[in-house]
């Protein structure tokens, strides 16, 4: 989803040279401010008309951006796996790079900044994260990277082509139906590597109202939230000296933002579900420091026909059941999630039980960040029958995210 745990680590770990300023985007511009002025950033605007393939690529006018994939796979011999691959772009606050006009907050003067060298730039930082679960052995592994823009990390502004070292996500071009064909290359350390081809089985959807997904009362706490809710996956997995085939389904989010958490928010819970009947569901609950659910929380159905129906927190409930305590961070997370949602037509709906395929899928939080839980799950109905597969993210249980900012 709009997984920001690693981005938040960047906000903590990367140098801050000036005060942020947010902007509304100028018409079709990515223009430059002088190096003696603090950089300004765009805010998501209602009614934006997306242009593809360019809008699958990078948007330097926004402060933060991420491409996020999760999925459930089967390897040879019927072994079940979960995977996560996320690429982040985070802009520096002082840059000689162009950006839009139309500031709504004044830029702040700062010392002159020399131009960034093209092969080792300081105007953008790229973070990436990979995780892999072997369900049979309950083995969960993950790795993070942080690089400056340049020879080892880049993102194209005209198409989807982002990389961090030998990890990459690229649009290979349209298929016969005009949908993009994606290739993901990733791995963990030296003994685990995968290459996947991902093809959308449903059209792209845009969550939010009029193209803007709000996360808090503050207008700046919002994103453009683009999703391929179901992609078919084929590829190969190399473990040590052995290489075999993998296949399954994945979910992909691409979000553009310049801010996320609002005042009084401590963290969030999020899930994406792919039901066996061809529908998908996305829900996020923004948690406040008094334990309540923030009004800017959302649940959304994606129907078999690709239509989106969504509601606020008065129409769904997210409840934790049981506890799992991390032996590393000491964070205590719900062991199981009970999610009650309306039907796509608005009628009262069922309660889904979301169970982890492995209890320990906690991530360290990257470079100086707050640990969080994110992992592959099964979805059960009231009778205990498995009806879908999910990923769940739970943040703010092993540290207050707002304080980390």
| pLDDT per residue as tens digits for the range 285-302 | 999 988 889 999 999 999
Determine contact, residues 124/147, Cβ cutoff 8 Å.
Answer: no
**pLDDT at position 343:** 94
Q: Which residue ranges form the domains of the chain, and what is each CATH number? A: 5-43+52-404 (2.40.370.10)
- Omega cis (within 30) before 234: no
Lowest mean per-residue pLDDT among 37-46, 203-212, 213-222, 338-347: 37-46
Taking Cα atoms as reference points, which of 32, 69, 379 lies closest to residue 255?
Answer: 69
Taking Cα atoms as reference points, which of 148, 147, 215 lies closest to residue 2?
Answer: 215
The span from the CA of 70 to the CA of 283, in Å, is 15
Q: What is the DSSP letter of 357?
A: S
> How does residue 123 score in pLDDT terms, banded at 50, 70 and 90?
confident
> How does residue 4 score in pLDDT terms, banded at 50, 70 and 90?
very low
**pLDDT at position 151:** 79
Mean pLDDT throughout 341-362? 95
The span from the CA of 253 to the CA of 292, in Å, is 26
**pLDDT at position 370:** 80
Q: Enter the tokens of residue 269.
A: 């819970």
Q: What is the pLDDT of residues 162-201, one digit of tens each?
A: 999 999 999 999 887 778 899 999 999 999 999 999 999 9
At a CB cut-off of 8 Å and minimum separation 6, what does 262 contact?
215, 216, 217, 218, 221, 286, 294, 296
Q: Enter the tokens of residue 384.
A: 């205990």
Q: Is residue 256 pLDDT above 80, yes or no?
A: yes
Mean pLDDT throughout 225-238? 97
What DSSP line would sit under 65-90, residue for residue? EEEEEEEEEEETTTEEEEEEEEEEEE
At a CB cut-off of 8 Å and minimum separation 6, what does 84 contact?
68, 69, 70, 129, 130, 131, 132, 142, 374, 391
Mean pLDDT throughout 232-249? 95
**pLDDT at position 5:** 41
> How does residue 44 score in pLDDT terms, banded at 50, 70 and 90?
confident
Determine contact, residues 262/218, Cβ cutoff 8 Å.
Answer: yes
pTM for this predicted structure: 0.86
The span from the CA of 196 to the CA of 42, in Å, is 33
What DSSP line would sit under 151-209, residue for residue? TTEEE-SSSSEEEETTEEEEEEEE-TTS-EEEEEEEEETTTEEEEEEEEESS--EEESB
Supply the mean pLDDT for the chain: 84
**pLDDT at position 312:** 94
Cα dihedral: 313, 329, 222, 202 (round 10): -80
Q: Which helix (H) or strand (E) holds 13?
A: helix 5-13
Query: 32 or 78: which carries more pLDDT confidence?
Result: 78
Instruction: Classify residue 343 as exposed, middle or buried by CB count within 10 Å of its CB (0-12, 13-18, 19+).
Output: exposed
Q: Enter the tokens of residue 240.
A: 């040590």
């Amino acid at each position: 989803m709009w997984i920001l745990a690693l981005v938040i680590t960047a906000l903590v770990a990367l140098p801050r040279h000036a005060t942020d300023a947010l902007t509304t985007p100028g018409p079709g511009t990515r223009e430059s401010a002088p190096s003696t002025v603090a950089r300004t950033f765009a805010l998501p605007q209602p009614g934006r008309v997306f242009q593809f393939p360019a809008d699958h690529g990078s948007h330097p006018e926004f402060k933060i951006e991420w491409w996020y994939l999760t999925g459930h796979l089967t390897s040879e011999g019927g072994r079940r796996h979960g995977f996560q691959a996320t690429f982040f772009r985070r802009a520096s606050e002082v840059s000689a790079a162009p950006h839009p006009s139309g500031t709504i907050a004044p830029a702040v003067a700062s010392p002159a900044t020399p131009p960034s060298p093209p092969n080792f730039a300081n105007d953008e930082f790229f973070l990436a994260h990979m995780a892999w679960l072997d369900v049979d052995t309950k083995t969960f592994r993950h790795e993070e990277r942080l690089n400056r823009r340049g020879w080892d990390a880049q993102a194209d502004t005209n198409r989807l082509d982002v990389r961090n070292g030998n990890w990459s996500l690229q649009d290979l071009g349209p298929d016969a139906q005009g949908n993009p064909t994606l290739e993901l290359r990733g791995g963990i350390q030296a003994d685990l590597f995968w290459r996947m081809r991902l093809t959308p089985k449903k059209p792209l959807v845009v969550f939010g109202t009029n193209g803007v997904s709000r996360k808090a009362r503050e207008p700046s706490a919002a994103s453009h939230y683009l999703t391929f809710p179901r992609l078919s996956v084929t590829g190969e997995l190399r473990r040590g000296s052995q290489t075999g085939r993998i296949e399954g389904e994945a979910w992909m989010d691409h979000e553009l933002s310049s801010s996320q958490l609002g005042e009084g928010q401590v963290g969030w819970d999020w899930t994406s579900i792919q039901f066996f009947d061809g529908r998908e569901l996305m829900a996020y609950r923004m948690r406040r420091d008094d334990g309540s659910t923030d009004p800017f929380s959302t649940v959304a159905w994606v129907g078999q026909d690709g239509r989106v129906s969504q509601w606020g927190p008065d129409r769904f409930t997210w409840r934790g059941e049981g506890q799992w305590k991390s032996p590393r961070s000491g964070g205590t997370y719900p062991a199981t999630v009970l999610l009650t949602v309306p039907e796509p037509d608005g009628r009262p709906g069922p309660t889904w039980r979301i169970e982890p395929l492995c209890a320990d899928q906690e991530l360290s939080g990257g470079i100086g960040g707050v640990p969080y839980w994110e992992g592959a799950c099964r979805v059960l109905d009231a009778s205990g029958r498995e009806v879908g597969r999910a990923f769940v993210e739970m943040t703010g249980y092993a540290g207050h995210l707002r304080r980390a900012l």
